[in-house]
Structure 1
Amino acid sequence: MSKKIRLGILGGGGDSLIGVLHRIASSMYDSYQLVGGVFNPIPEENTGFAEKIGIPTNRVYNDFDTMIEEELKLPEDQRMQVVSVLTPNFLHFPMAKKLIESGFNVICEKPMTTSFEEAQILKETLDKSDVLFAVTYTYTGYPMVRQMKEMIASGVIGKIQKVDVQYYQGWINPIIHDAEKRANTWRLDPEKGGISCCIGDIGTHGYDMIEYLTGLEVESILSDLNYMYSDNKMDIDGTVLLRFSEHVKGLLRTSQIATGEENNFTVSIYGEKGGLKWEQENPNYLYHLTEDGPLKVLKPGHGYNSEFSLDGTKLPPGHPEGIFDSMGNIYKGVAKAIRKEEYHPGEFPTMNDGFRGMNFIERVVESHQKGNVWVKL
């Protein structure tokens, strides 16, 4: 039995949802062992959290730079092999860059950076190294998303004609209408969140999902964003028209002020022979539409699914699989790559996904600021 991969984590302490998600995901498949990190910038809370989750405090460091320095002093067979970056957006770039330069594999939350310029620098840094870099566009890990990808690639729905993606949340609604709250929310602060809130946070998921599933690349976009108040610097709602080619077009609708919505992420892709639809809030159902037959509903765990889908299925048919499983599949793919085992190219998003995602975010904002015009990617 091979030894577990030694994992370090930056951020994700306290009651952070993303921290819980990554820790549980990394524990699936028995591939990783969390050995330390920096969970909180406040020393006593940092060590207190480590003790709470049962991590030895000798490798829980007061700050990021100290972690790098001390880990590099350890023999190679003892130091962290991969580090997950779960900090606020503005810290992704400096941390990821130094990790790559120091020889650590990286699993980074999205958006990968706060600007396309930073993404370009990070990509150049990675190109000069031999480390692995993954970006956690979590939803690509769902078994039925992977089944959808395989069906499209094998021509089940024929040549793609139309793409329609919606990602609606409502969590910013009670914040945006209160001047004090919107001024003190880090996701609405350009210094911490970057150039975009809604598109940067959830729109980039939709964009990555479109290219992941279809194998197509968006050529140009036209966007219309909503900031709601003149003192708010970050978009909280937006619609983006997409052009893949002259005859293949699409739509990405995103909002964080869709009152009452929780995490309504839906993907519809239509080809000349049929269509496929998937909803994140009901992830076990993949709908296959055709003109000459009844609606088909595919579910995970059955033999009619692809090997790629079944490899990411942990439970028998009829048992729900959720977002923890989806993230766990991404960690599983990264583990295979670190161990130099054979893996499917769609098992985890890469630097290229993060790189294109940052370009998309900036072009969306540019299109809006220029008066809602078409902008090439």
Structure 2
Amino acid sequence: MGKKIKLGVLGGGGDSLIGILHRVASSMFDKFEFVGGVFNPDHEESKKFAQELGIGTDRVYKDLDHLIAEEAKLPEDQRIKVVSILTPNFLHFPMAKQLLENGFNVICEKPMTTSYEEAKILEDTLNKSKTIFAVTYTYTGYPMIRQMKEMIAAGEIGEIQKIDVQYYQGWINPIIHDKDERNSIWRLDPEKGGISCCIGDIGTHAFDMIEYVSGLEVKELLADLNYVYSDNKMDVDGTVLLRFSEYVKGVLRSSQIATGEENNFAVKIYGKKAGLKWEQENPNYLYKLEDGQPMKVLKPGHEYNSALSLDGTKLPPGHPEGIFDSMGNIYKGVAKAINGEKYHPAEFPTMKDGIRGMNFIEKVVDSHAKGNVWVKLDA
């Protein structure tokens, strides 16, 4: 086995869900060595967190400037080679830009930036740096999502006619109805979260997913958002009509006030010959529907699955794999790219996906603000 890639992390300290998800995922295929980073704005808290994790505090830095300066002093083969950005949204762009300018590979949480303009600037920076950049649209790492993508590309469902994606959560429901609470969390603060909460947080997952599995691009959209209260500046619910072409239409439904829902993410693609359905809360099952035929259920790990799907499957059939495994597959793809190994372009979301996501968010907000009208996405 080759030498492990040294990994640094920005954010993700304390009881952060996303922090443990990235740490576990990065360790799955023995490709990365987590060595340090900046986990908290308070340096002492960062060091305490490192001690809790059992890693040395010598590479726990005060801030990003300190990380870059100190890592540059080390021999090249000992330096942090890739940094994962797990901070609130408003920090993604400046941190990613600075890292790219200093030659680091980057794995960034979504949304990639807080504006489309920032995303395009980041693309220019990446082109100059010639490093690897990944955006963690996590659910693209599931084996049966990759199988779904490959089946559609192979024409197994025929020409696509209808796309329906739903992402429902309920976690903001108890917060939104308390004025003090809704004014205190960063996700409902435009200065920290950007112009959108629900669409920016989970709607962008749904948007990336439908373009990933279908191989199609959304050309136009019409959005209707819900803010619930007039003093709330961030959407917490939205429905978006989609046009892929004159005869291929779809709908994206996203909500964080779907009372009682946990993480109800479902993708349905219907073609002339068949349909495919997948649900994140039961990710090992891919359903194939055909007129006049019993519904078929495909599961991971079987030889009938594609090479891309099987590459993302660690265990024999019947052993459930979940979101940690899905994120692990993205890290695995990034490791291949950094090491110069051959990899499938669908193994991890790239800068292009991040840019498309930011264009989508801004167009959704624009469509709603203009009175729920059709607007075109950039090509």
Q: Scaled by the length of structure 2, what TM-score is found?
A: 0.99
1:34 and 2:56 correspond: no
Distance of 1:129 and 1:42 partners within structure 2: 30
Give the CA deviation at 1:74: 1.4
Partner of 1:165: 165
Partner of 1:245: 245
Counterparts in 2 of 1:127-276, with a 5 A limit?
Answer: 127-276=127-276
Distance of 2:228 and 2:360 partners within structure 1: 22
Counterparts in 2 of 1:1-377, with a 5 A limit?
Answer: 1-377=1-377
Give the CA deviation at 1:315: 1.1
Q: Percent identity?
A: 77
Distance of 1:74 and 1:98 partners within structure 2: 19
**Alignment deviations for residues 85-124 of structure 1 (CA, whole Å, 9 cap, x no partner):** 0000000000000000000000000000001111011011
Distance of 2:53 and 2:237 partners within structure 1: 37
Give the CA deviation at 1:376: 0.2
Give the CA deviation at 1:357: 0.2
Distance of 1:72 and 1:360 partners within structure 2: 37
Distance of 1:234 and 1:167 partners within structure 2: 17
Distance of 1:45 and 1:129 partners within structure 2: 32
SS in 2 for 1:59: coil
**Alignment deviations for residues 308-335 of structure 1 (CA, whole Å, 9 cap, x no partner):** 1111111111111000000000000000
SS in 1 for 2:22: helix
Unaligned ranges ≥5, structure 1: none
Give the CA deviation at 1:44: 1.4
Unaligned ranges ≥5, structure 2: none
Residue type of the alignment partner of 1:132: I
**Alignment deviations for residues 326-356 of structure 1 (CA, whole Å, 9 cap, x no partner):** 0000000000000110111100000000000
Distance of 1:132 and 1:223 partners within structure 2: 33
Residue type of the alignment partner of 1:356: R
Residue type of the alignment partner of 2:314: K
Distance of 1:71 and 1:116 partners within structure 2: 31
Distance of 1:4 and 1:156 partners within structure 2: 39
**Alignment deviations for residues 277-335 of structure 1 (CA, whole Å, 9 cap, x no partner):** 00000000000000131100000111111111111111111111000000000000000
SS in 2 for 1:365: helix
Q: Size of the alignment, in residue pairs?
A: 377
Segment of structure 1 superposing worse, 255-264 or 73-82: 73-82
Q: Which runs of 4+ in 1 moved over 6 A?
A: none
Give the CA deviation at 1:275: 0.3
Distance of 1:288 and 1:170 partners within structure 2: 29
SS in 1 for 2:246: coil
SS in 1 for 2:29: helix
Distance of 1:133 and 1:272 partners within structure 2: 36
Residue type of the alignment partner of 1:103: G
Residue type of the alignment partner of 2:33: Q
Segment of structure 1 superposing worse, 298-307 or 252-261: 298-307
Distance of 1:292 and 1:129 partners within structure 2: 54
Q: Scaled by the length of structure 1, what TM-score is found?
A: 0.99
Distance of 1:110 and 1:54 partners within structure 2: 28
Distance of 2:327 and 2:267 partners within structure 1: 18
SS in 1 for 2:347: coil
Distance of 1:309 and 1:125 partners within structure 2: 32
SS in 2 for 1:346: helix
